[in-house]
Amino acid sequence: MSIIEKAASRIDQAREAAPAPVVVEHDGQKIVLEPQAQAAAPVARVEAPHVATPAVATPRVEAHRAEAPRPAATRVAAPGVATPRKTAPKPGVPKVDLDLVRMRDAGMVTAASGRTSLLEDFRVIKRPLLKQAFSEGSPGRPNNLIMITSSLPGEGKTYTAINLAMSIAMELDHTVLLVDADVARPSVLRTLGLPAQRGLMDILVDDKLDLSDVMLRTNVDTLSILPAGTSTPRATELLASSTMSSLVNEIASRYPDRVIIFDSPPLLLTSESRVLASHMGQIVMVVEAQATTQHAVKEALRQLEGCSNVNLIYNKARDIPGIEETYDYHYG
């Protein structure tokens, strides 16, 4: 019986017995699948790293992954403190300016935002990912390659990818490359208020182009962006190509302190995400609260079978009792 079938049968048993969450083990992680009492359709609730909207209650936090040894200590820079980079990008790499005020006003993580609940949420989210990022991954799947995906469109992949990248960029010991791998419907540059540029797809089709020709440095010293680039109908094949394998391995190993975040398409609507997942050391699947059905989550997890280090984020959560007290207890 597969992990998904086991989870499904345990959910049925739990539903008859009591409204308790069902915990299943998947690659050494605990995943909690819980019927949502108030939703019309059952919703999978998965506890691991999570995110809440800044305006609403913060969902509860539980880290499920076993601690893994990590070579470099991770420290969080205080908001507003400059973050010196350890590995400067090549001088010729083009530079763009992120409008940090606009980003802050749009509710995104920035160093100038002060201590917001969103910033705290992403501190919790990034911690287990960073711990895993510098431990040894499976062959061909370095753990510092982290893909953000979801079952369906609009669940918050791009939002999570950008905020996670900004949050990791505030670390003293890490640099971040944010890759827009949603090559059919790229939105990282648009969300950041930047015009479309050449990027990942262009490197894969033109062997004269190098990563440094299209990678963008930003005014956040520790953050670079690789745009999706020129759209092509051969995207899935290009992402599955040996050129892509070489590229991701080069990206993963060029700087030892670098974390690479891939914003990606939804798993259930495209084949690109499944192909991308095959290169990744860690996967973060965003689950939209009150919207994503258990069926969709189970189907998406099925697509990820064979991937290690699958984490889930319960996004856009509302009204979880007792959370304010927890927040006050830690930071009040």
Binding site for Mg ion (CB under 5 A): 157-158, 187
Radius of gyration of the chain (CA): 19
Task: List the one residue from 157, 258, 274, 298 that touches ligand ATP (CB under 6 A).
Answer: 157
- Taking CB under 6 A as the rule, does residue 227 contact ligand ATP? no
Q: Which does 111 bind (CB under 5 to 8 A by kind): ligand ATP, Mg ion, none?
A: none
Task: List the one residue from 113, 293, 294, 315 that touches ligand ATP (CB under 6 A).
Answer: 315
Quick one: which of 258, 102, 259 has its CA closest to 190? 102
Between 157 and 217, whose beta carbon lies closer to ligand ATP? 157
- CA–CA–CA angle 229, 177, 94 (5° rounding): 60
Q: How far is the CB of 157 from Mg ion (least distance, A)?
A: 5
- Taking CB under 6 A as the rule, does residue 150 contact ligand ATP? yes
Task: List the one residue from 143, 158, 273, 294 that touches ligand ATP (CB under 6 A).
Answer: 158
Task: List the one residue from 124, 197, 316, 323 that touches ligand ATP (CB under 6 A).
Answer: 316
By DSSP bridging, strand 29-33 and strand 22-26 are antiparallel
Between 11 and 261, whose beta carbon lies closer to ligand ATP? 261
Structure tokens belonging to residue 14: 């739990």
Window contacting ligand ATP (CB under 6 A); options: 42-50, 70-78, 82-90, 150-158: 150-158
Task: List the one residue from 154, 193, 256, 306 that touches ligand ATP (CB under 6 A).
Answer: 154
Cβ partners under 8 Å of residue 262, min gap 6: 145, 146, 147, 148, 161, 179, 181, 276, 280
Cα dihedral: 162, 163, 167, 173 (round 10): -20
Cβ partners under 8 Å of residue 65, min gap 6: 28, 29, 48, 128, 131, 132, 309, 311
Task: Determine the Cα–Cα distance for residues 317 and 102; give it in Å rounded to an integer.
Answer: 24
CA distances from 67 to 49, 52, 63, 130 (A): 14, 24, 10, 11
Task: Determine the Cα–Cα distance for residues 150 and 24; give it in Å rounded to an integer.
Answer: 19
Quick one: which of 63, 106, 116, 257 has its CA closest to 174? 257
Q: How far is the CB of 190 from ligand ATP (least distance, A)?
A: 10
Q: Which does 272 bind (CB under 5 to 8 A by kind): Mg ion, ligand ATP, none?
A: none
What phi, psi does 313 have (nearest 5°)? -115, 130
218 and 225 Cβ atoms separated by less than 8 Å: yes
Task: Determine the Cα–Cα distance for residues 125 and 142; give it in Å rounded to an integer.
Answer: 19
Name the residue number minimizing CB distance to ligand ATP: 156
Q: Which does 153 bind (CB under 5 to 8 A by kind): ligand ATP, Mg ion, none?
A: ligand ATP
Q: How far is the CB of 164 from Mg ion (least distance, A)?
A: 13
Task: List the one residue from 33, 44, 53, 133 that touches ligand ATP (CB under 6 A).
Answer: 53
In the chain, the amino acid numbered 331 is Y
| Binding to ligand ATP, residues 187-206 (CB under 6 A) | 187
Contact pattern from residue 9 through residue 48 relative to ligand ATP, giving x for each residue in contact according to CB under 6 A and a dash for the rest: ----------------------------------------
In the chain, the amino acid numbered 1 is M
- Taking CB under 6 A as the rule, does residue 159 contact ligand ATP? yes
Task: List the one residue from 137, 156, 199, 227 that touches ligand ATP (CB under 6 A).
Answer: 156
Structure tokens belonging to residue 108: 């995104």
Contacting residues toward ligand ATP, per CB under 6 A: 51, 53, 107, 150, 153-159, 182, 185, 187, 266, 315-316
